[in-house]
Amino acid sequence: MKIISVNSGSSSLKFQLYQMPEETVIASGQVEKIGFKDSVCTLKHNGEIRKETLAVKNHTQAAKLIIDGLINEQVLTSMQEINGVGHRIVQGGEVFDRSTLVNKKVIEQILILGEMAPLHNYAHVEAINGFLKVLPDIPHVVVFDTTFHQTMKADAYMYSTPYEWYLNYGIRKYGFHGSSHKYVSEKTNELLKLENSKVIVCHIGNGASLSAVVNGKCVDTSMGFTPLEGIPMGTRTGSLDPAILSYMEKKLNVSSDEMYEILNKKSGYLGVSQLSSDARDLEEAAFRGHKQAILAFELQAKRIADYIGSYYVYMGGLDAVSFTAGIGENSPYLRKLVLERLKVLGVLIDEEANNNNRLLISSPDSKVKIYVIKTNEELVIARDTMAFIKNNNIV
């Protein structure tokens, strides 16, 4: 069975083509700068990379370019070889507690939920419609970032706002990066080989979130109603006193929309360091002694440790912490900053293992296992798509 996993943005479309259930990546690629005259289409197959620059008007054209490229490069003999398409959707709200087949009603619901994730859901629907036009006769399955977090209890997902806000407008914590948290927590449990496990996943990339997972089920997560809540990120503030917003709107004479832009795109690493949102650039600056670059990492590390400590209490213990995503997988510096704050929990780090990004970076006498696990959100999408097709006998 051949499954395409699709991850779309407002001007980009990334994909991986899998042979399932072997879980082999046959090809991958992306179309960037959709809507521009100098869009870039990239296809990777058999260790070779093919790039083409051309005008791509919309996601439908991008989807057609991907399928045509796979056929032209003889990765596929025809469209009929594809058995299903899995689409990542950021916000599923309380409407979707599992992956589901795309139909007109599902698309309408994703668009309604787009009010809560305007930067993501609308673009996802563009990609769905694009692939539906190119591949109309095969099943399309939507896989939601929020689904993994639907197992949280009310004390973890509710806010102390007027209750009618929840009833009438859906104001609650939803959480994101669910496919990554699911994949990494499952991998962690495989390594632990425990019947009952208490795991914390730290997905640290430009966007960053944590999850507390008991026996494979999420019980809490750091992102909230939107991906803005939680720890400081590449350009996002993370949680802060909401009174700051109205105070600074008056001071800066900006609208609430402009303030939202500042909190999402001009804060975090970028805002504190005044240098860059890229962790690699900031690490170089920190090693040179740049005080604000150091502060940007210290702020994030302290907040990560805060969440880990609160999850330790909430779960009643902790067996393992797993770092993942771009920074979590590749920054010994940040991991050390976090783990040094966790000594009170019996966490002890193996310096050499950490510096070399090994799988297990805790020392043998550490009370908590510390792992570095490469995430694979696309594979989770492919697995869910295949499972849905098989369980529902869809041909």
Kindly list the catalytic residues.
145
Separation CA 260–CA 250 (nearest Å) = 14
Residue 77 token pair:
């003999």
- Tell me if 351 sits within 8 A of 370, measured CB to CB: no
The three-class DSSP label of residue 52 is: strand
What dihedral angle (degrees, nearest 10) is formed by the CA atoms of 181, 34, 267, 262? -120
- Tell me if 94 sits within 8 A of 225, measured CB to CB: no
Cα of 34 vs its chain's centroid, Å: 21
Residue 254 token pair:
């900006």
Cα separations (Å) of 273 from 266, 290, 297, 298?
11, 9, 9, 11
Exposure letters 298-325 (e unless 16+ CB within 10 A, then b): ebbbebbbebbeebbeebeebbbbbbbb
Separation CA 231–CA 74 (nearest Å) = 45
- Tell me if 186 sits within 8 A of 216, measured CB to CB: yes
Separation CA 164–CA 279 (nearest Å) = 41
Separation CA 110–CA 225 (nearest Å) = 16
- Tell me if 338 sits within 8 A of 301, measured CB to CB: yes
Residue 13 token pair:
């479309």
Give the amino acid at 270. Answer: L
- Tell me if 305 sits within 8 A of 341, measured CB to CB: yes
